[in-house]
Amino acid sequence: MEDIIYFNISRDGKDLNDYKGVFNIFMLCNKNRVTFHQGNVRYTADSGDFVVWLSTKPCDRIDYSDQTDADVLLVSDYFLDLYRPNQVSDARGYEYQTINPIIHSTLTLLARERTILEDDFKNILRHSYTFQGYLGEQIAGTLLRVLLYDLW
């Protein structure tokens, strides 16, 4: 199993339902919306929102609106545990992990915070093709750790 996978939903035609419960999902919704269903609760990410859906969080299904465009980073439990920051996350990080996995761009984040998260995420995506061998793993892990620190 790969430890880190990147794809774009519209470009690559992949379905997140194939990865739920297996990988930790980090997603930047670029256009339209993605809805995660957990029992009777729905979590919807609109254009500009960021999603952190951990593999341990139950998910019944994931739906997309027409022409959804989203960048997705899938991270294995092993890789996330290996590069997770050593300190306990703050209240916001705990909320994303347990209560609400959607970071709404218009409600939660200031423009500066949003830009930092986008830059972190896109930096991982830019380097995604160089994640080969031990050095590639170190680069990916370091960039993931920076993203997690900025999220928390």
b/e string for 82-110 if b means 16 or more Cβ within 10 A? ebeeeeebeeebebbbeeebbbebeebbe
Q: What is the pLDDT of residue 137?
A: 79
Tens digit of each residue's pLDDT (9 = 90 or more) over 15-45: 999 999 999 999 988 899 999 999 899 999 8
SS3 content of the chain, % helix, strand, coil (to 5): 40, 30, 35
Both tokens assigned to 111: 């423009």
Q: What is the pLDDT of residue 90?
A: 53
Q: What is the pLDDT of residue 98?
A: 61
Q: Are 4 and 19 in contact (CB under 8 A)?
A: no
Angle at 144 between CA 25 and CA 34, to 5 degrees: 25
Instruction: Please give the Cα distance from 79 to 91 (Å, whole number).
Output: 23
Q: Look up the pTM and report it.
A: 0.83
What count of other Cβ atoms lies within 10 Å of the Cβ of residue 120? 20
